């Protein structure tokens, strides 16, 4: 945790004066330092707090291996949608991100990977042109380099309505890139974190060779209100949680945050992902 | 809720009633009033042209949702011969909201797939208001694979408010079904032509919406979210669908301008619901012409072009200076 993203970011739910944090779920007061050491998981009830994209990178990638790509892409409000520019500006300030996805290259347990992460702190992680382009390029880089791509979703907002059809088309664009990664026999791992909804679930969020979810994460298609309206049948108490999706066969495993990286590392090894050692060995003169 | 089509078509309806009255009078009084009728008909056509030339985006939504509009089975009946409907996803069931089968389009055998809405209560229930379930998307993909096996092109007719958002659909993996279709439609080797004929509702539409060509009927709409839903989120007021429809740029003309679709298929005067035959004839002509264009390509070239069509979609800038923190 040398980069210190777990300490740097200011969470809005801190209380009081940044020494204590209240658990969203069990309302327990948690000593902040301990909570951070616990990767922002409640020590009492196991609730997994949302992480920022940079915290995810720190959690998953080997130290100092991440190289960000495409950070210079910015939304231009192509539809002149009411209030969109102001929203973008506000979230840029509050998160320090240029948009809701961070992408780049790095290593995971010594395996070179391409990675893209959506961050719920930026417009609920919704996918517009920039997010779609960053994810697509991340997948394409993986295909070009013949390495795995790891896609981490923290998108509660689905396709970003402020860019209308252009956002809807990001579902097709990202899925098309994954189709090529798939056809090339290369690995895609999807990590579903809280929240993953709508157009992201209905595109790249469900297109991994492996689907890993964090405990308690909200994962689903339509909002609960819409789902309830659409049907009189009883709504299960765990509806649209990681555990619900596990029970319905939609994800492979629910993995606690602390075990996430190790689990992914095993899957990379199963899939025969190149590792830095073998890459260097094969690059070395015979 | 959505305003009725009848509202803005009222002047037309009144004229039609007037014409009918004159016709009745003609019969009752056996007087020749054909010139009067002709004048009224002419006035009606002029009014229709004027009305349909100046539709707002919200009007377009109402036309696209009009229950009198031709549905997939109407288009299939009018455009194809020897349609053999095929059912089931081979997993759990058959979805009435998603229909498919094999048919002849001119001298070609094709597979045709589409969402189907219903007109009366019973039919609407059977068709789930055109909202396909996971079974429907999986049936669609099964039929596309079948078509690929026998080297026949695929035609997809889109007309859905949305994919089914119900609890059972969530339990059966509606997201996965849609995602899987989107991905695999980039890999299906035979030509795929997509036509949005009515409502192109978000992911529900896209689940059968990837192809070599994407066409829209003149008065169909294609949107990332229903205008009412968008209005409810932005202005906390679902009544402002009108404003949301403008903001979302969801008409065929908008979609063409944004580069999302390849072509707008013209509808008869006063939209498809006034003249099914002409609407179907125009669509059929467009489908055949586009098939003529994409069929000669090699599989590799066709899949590359299909990918690039979607790959280039998205509008963004490149920051020249660091953004303010």
Please write the tens of the pLDDT for every residue from B189-216: 999 999 999 999 999 999 999 999 999 9
A272: left (phi over 0), alpha (psi -120 to 50) or beta: left
Cross-chain Cβ contact B182/A166 below 8 Å: no
A83/A32 same-domain check = no
Which of A16-25, A205-214, A222-231, B80-89 is the least confident region? A222-231
Last residue of a domain, one of A49, A71, A87: A49
Confidence at residue A1, expressed as pLDDT on a 0 to 100 scale:
41
Burial class (CB in 10 A: 0-12, 13-18, 19+), B90: exposed
Token pair 């200076």: residue: B321
Pick the more confident residue, A86 or A1: A86
Residue-by-residue DSSP string for A53-101: HHHHHHHHSPTT--EEE-TTEEE--TT--TTHHHHHHHHHHHHS-SSSE
| Neighbour tally for A18: CB within 10 Å | 10
A97/A108 same-domain check = yes
> Could you give the CA distance from residue B3 to residue A93 in angstroms, rounded to a whole number?
40
Cross-chain Cβ contact B315/A76 below 8 Å: yes
**Bond prior to A196 in cis (omega within 30° of 0):** no
| Neighbour tally for A94: CB within 10 Å | 12
Mean of pLDDT values over A11-33: 81
Confidence at residue B280, expressed as pLDDT on a 0 to 100 scale:
98
Residue B230 touches partner A, C-beta closer than 8 Å: yes
B37/B169 same-domain check = no
Which residues form the domain of A11?
A: 1-49
Tens digit of pLDDT for each residue in A237-248?
999 999 999 999
Tens digit of pLDDT for each residue in A249-278?
999 999 999 999 999 999 999 999 999 876
Q: Is the pTM of this model over 0.95?
A: no
- Is the distance from CB of B214 to CB of B259 less than 8 angstroms? no
Chain mean pLDDT for chain B: 94
Closest residue to A74, CB basis, from B174, B223, B319: B319
Confidence at residue B27, expressed as pLDDT on a 0 to 100 scale:
83
A105/A238 same-domain check = yes
A13/A66 same-domain check = no
Q: In degrees, to the nearest 5, what angle opens at C-alpha B98 toward C-alphas A247 and B192?
A: 105
Mean of pLDDT values over A143-169: 97
Mean of pLDDT values over A133-159: 97
Burial class (CB in 10 A: 0-12, 13-18, 19+), B16: middle
Burial class (CB in 10 A: 0-12, 13-18, 19+), A82: middle
B144/B88 same-domain check = yes
> Could you give the CA distance from residue A257 to residue A234 in angstroms, rounded to a whole number?
31
A39/A55 same-domain check = no
Confidence at residue B296, expressed as pLDDT on a 0 to 100 scale:
98
Cross-chain Cβ contact B164/A230 below 8 Å: yes
Task: Please enumerate in sequence order all residues whose Cβ is within 8 A of that of A8, keeping only pairs 6 or more positions apart, or say none.
Answer: none
For residue A131, give both structure tokens.
């997010």
Task: Please enumerate in sequence order all residues whose Cβ is within 8 A of that of A246, keeping only pairs 6 or more positions apart, or say none.
Answer: A213, A253, A254
Total domains in chain B come to: 2
B111/B173 same-domain check = yes
Q: Minimal Cα distance from B254: which residue of A?
A: A165
Token pair 């009918």: residue: B20
Task: Please enumerate in sequence order all residues whose Cβ is within 8 A of that of A136, keeping only pairs 6 or more positions apart, or say none.
Answer: A170, A173, A174, A176, A177, B311
Q: Minimal Cα distance from B243: which residue of A?
A: A82
In a domain, B179, yes or no: yes
> Could you give the CA distance from residue A172 to residue B86 in angstroms, rounded to a whole number?
27
Helix H or strand E segment including B22: helix B5-29
Task: Tell me which residue of B108, B142, B111, B151 sits closest to B299, measured CA to CA.
Answer: B151
Q: Output DSSP code: residue B128.
A: G
A45/A99 same-domain check = no
- Is the distance from CB of B49 to CB of B269 less than 8 angstroms? yes
Helix/strand/coil for B215:
strand
A127/A21 same-domain check = no
Last residue of a domain, one of A27, A49, A71: A49
Phi, psi of B110 (to 5 degrees): -140, 170
- Provide the CATH number for the domain around residue A277: 3.90.226.10
Whole-complex ipTM: 0.94
Helix H or strand E segment including B267: none
Q: Which of residues 166-195 of B touch A (CB under 8 A)?
A: 166-176, 178-180, 182-184, 186-187
- Is the distance from CB of A102 to CB of A54 less than 8 angstroms? yes
In a domain, B318, yes or no: no
Would you say residue B1 has pLDDT above 50?
A: no
- Give percent of chain B above pLDDT 70: 97
- Is the distance from CB of B214 to CB of B174 less than 8 angstroms? no
Give the residues across from A191 on adjacent strands: A152, A212
Strand-pair category, B108-115 with B98-105: antiparallel
A56/A32 same-domain check = no
B283/B148 same-domain check = yes
A144/A203 same-domain check = yes
Token pair 């189907």: residue: B116
Q: Output DSSP code: residue A2.
A: T
A42/A121 same-domain check = no
Mean of pLDDT values over A10-36: 82
- Provide the CATH number for the domain around residue B166: 3.90.226.10
Which residues form the domain of B129?
A: 62-311
B25/B138 same-domain check = no
B160/B115 same-domain check = yes
Task: Tell me which residue of A121, A109, A188, A112 sits closest to A155, measured CA to CA.
Answer: A121
Mean of pLDDT values over B91-104: 97
B22/B88 same-domain check = no
Mean of pLDDT values over B271-283: 97
Closest residue to A173, CB basis, from B172, B255, B313: B313
For the CA atoms of B149, B155, B157, B163, the dihedral, rounded to the nearest 10 degrees, stands at 30
In a domain, B322, yes or no: no
Last residue of a domain, one of A9, A31, A49: A49
Cross-chain Cβ contact A165/B202 below 8 Å: no
- Is the distance from CB of B244 to CB of B228 less than 8 angstroms? yes
Longest dimension (CA), chain A: 68
| Neighbour tally for A136: CB within 10 Å | 24
Q: What is the CA radius of gyration of chain B?
A: 22
| Neighbour tally for A29: CB within 10 Å | 14
Helix H or strand E segment including A8: helix A5-8
B27/B47 same-domain check = yes
Residues in chain A closer than 8 A to B173 (CB atoms) = 206, 248-250
pLDDT bracket for residue A54 (50, 70, 90): very high
Mean of pLDDT values over A190-201: 97
pLDDT bracket for residue A232 (50, 70, 90): low
A197/A72 same-domain check = yes
B175/B234 same-domain check = yes
Distance from CA of B121 to the nearest CA of A (A): 16
Q: What is the CA radius of gyration of chain A?
A: 19
A146/A134 same-domain check = yes
Total domains in chain A come to: 2
């Amino acid at each position: 945790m040398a980069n210190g993203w777990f300490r740097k970011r200011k969470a809005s739910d801190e209380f009081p004066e940044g020494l204590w944090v209240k658990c969203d779920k069990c309302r327990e007061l948690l000593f902040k330092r301990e909570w951070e050491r616990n990767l922002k998981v409640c020590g009492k009830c196991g609730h997994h707090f949302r992480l920022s994209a940079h915290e995810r990178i720190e959690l998953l990638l080997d130290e100092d291996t991440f190289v960000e790509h495409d950070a210079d892409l910015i939304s231009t409000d192509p539809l002149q949608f009411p209030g969109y520019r102001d929203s973008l500006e506000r979230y840029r300030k509050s998160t320090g991100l240029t948009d809701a996805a961070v992408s780049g290259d790095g290593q995971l347990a010594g395996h070179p990977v391409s990675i893209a992460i959506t961050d719920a702190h930026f417009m609920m992680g919704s996918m517009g042109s920039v997010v779609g382009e960053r994810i697509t390029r991340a997948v394409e880089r993986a295909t070009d380099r013949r390495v795995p791509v790891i896609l981490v979703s923290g998108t509660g907002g689905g396709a970003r309505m402020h860019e209308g059809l252009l956002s809807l088309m990001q579902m097709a664009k990202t899925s098309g890139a994954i189709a090529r990664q798939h056809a090339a026999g290369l690995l895609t791992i999807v990590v579903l974190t809280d929240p993953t909804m709508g157009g992201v679930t209905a595109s790249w969020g469900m297109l991994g060779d492996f689907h890993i979810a964090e405990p308690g994460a909200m994962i689903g298609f339509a909002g609960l209100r819409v789902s309830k309206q659409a049907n009189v049948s009883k709504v299960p108490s765990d509806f649209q949680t990681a555990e619900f999706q596990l029970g319905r066969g939609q994800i492979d495993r629910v993995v606690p945050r602390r075990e996430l990286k190790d689990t992914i590392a095993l899957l990379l090894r199963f899939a025969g992902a190149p590792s830095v050692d073998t890459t260097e060995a094969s690059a070395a003169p015979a | 809720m959505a305003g009725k089509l009848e509202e803005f078509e009222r002047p037309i309806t009144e004229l039609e009633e007037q014409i009918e009255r004159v016709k009745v009078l003609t019969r009752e009084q056996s007087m020749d009033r054909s010139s009067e009728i002709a004048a009224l008909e002419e006035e009606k056509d002029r009014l229709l042209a004027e009305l349909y030339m100046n539709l707002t985006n919200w009007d377009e939504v109402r036309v696209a949702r009009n229950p009198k509009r031709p549905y997939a089975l109407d288009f299939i009946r009018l455009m194809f011969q020897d349609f053999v409907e095929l059912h089931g996803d081979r997993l759990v069931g058959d979805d009435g909201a998603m229909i498919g089968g094999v048919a002849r389009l001119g001298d070609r055998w094709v597979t045709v797939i589409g969402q189907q809405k219903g007109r009366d209560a019973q039919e609407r229930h059977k068709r789930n208001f055109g909202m396909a379930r996971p079974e429907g998307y999986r049936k669609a993909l099964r039929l596309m694979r079948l078509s690929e096996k026998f080297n026949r092109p695929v035609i997809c007719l889109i007309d859905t408010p949305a994919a089914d958002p119900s609890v059972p659909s969530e339990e059966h993996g509606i997201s996965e079904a849609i995602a899987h279709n989107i991905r695999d439609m980039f890999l299906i080797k035979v030509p795929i032509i997509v036509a949005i004929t009515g409502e192109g509702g978000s992911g529900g539409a896209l689940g059968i919406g990837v192809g070599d060509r994407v066409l829209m009927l003149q008065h169909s709409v294609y949107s990332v979210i229903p205008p009412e839903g968008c209005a409810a989120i932005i202005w906390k007021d679902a009544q402002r669908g009108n404003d949301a429809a403008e903001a979302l740029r969801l008409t065929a003309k908008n979609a063409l301008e944004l580069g999302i679709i390849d072509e707008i298929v013209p509808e008869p005067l006063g939209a498809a619901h006034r003249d099914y035959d002409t609407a179907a004839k125009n669509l059929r002509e467009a489908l055949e012409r586009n098939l003529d264009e994409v069929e000669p390509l090699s599989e590799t070239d066709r899949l590359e072009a299909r990918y690039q069509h979607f790959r280039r979609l998205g509008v963004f800038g490149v920051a020249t200076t660091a953004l303010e923190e």
